[in-house]
Structure 1
Amino acid sequence: MKELEKDGIIHGKVFAEVPSWVEYSITEKGLTLRPIILSLSEWGLKHVLHEENDDAK
């Protein structure tokens, strides 16, 4: 999470309570990754389903 925050992909807001906690949100820069992540997801579903169908034969 720290790397994603350092790279500007997410933002962490620290709440100094007991116990302390962090609320993360995606940044504008992070939102630009959405098409890439969706594309990878589609690819994975296609290939996993394809492999499962091949194994069933």
Structure 2
Amino acid sequence: MKDFSWNYFLKTGQIDAYLLYKECQMKQDLLQSEAEVQELLSYTKKSLPFNG
């Protein structure tokens, strides 16, 4: 969807297509950030001794 909206924007100049592209990009970036946080948390839990 991201590639389609970008290509559509390039061909037509419609701002709605650009906004859809940006929304897809932001969601993709958010998912990537969440995955990185989960990876760091997983690593931290494995690395730290249990204090309980």
Superposed structure 1 runs of 4+ greater than 2 Å apart: 25-29
Q: Deviations over 1:21-43 (max 9, x none)?
A: xxxx64334x4310100000000
Gaps of 5+ in 2: 42-52
Which of structures 1 and 2 has the larger relative contact order (alpha carbons within 8 angstroms, sep 6+)? Answer: 2
TM-score, normalised to structure 1, is 0.47
Gaps of 5+ in 1: 11-24
Amino acid aligned to 1:27: T
Taking the TM superposition and a 5 Å limit, the aligned residue runs for 1:16-55 are: 26-29=11-14, 31-55=15-39
Q: CA RMSD in A?
A: 2.3
**Identical residues among aligned pairs (%):** 6
TM-score, normalised to structure 2, is 0.51
How many pairs align?
A: 35
Structure showing the higher helix proportion among its residues? 2
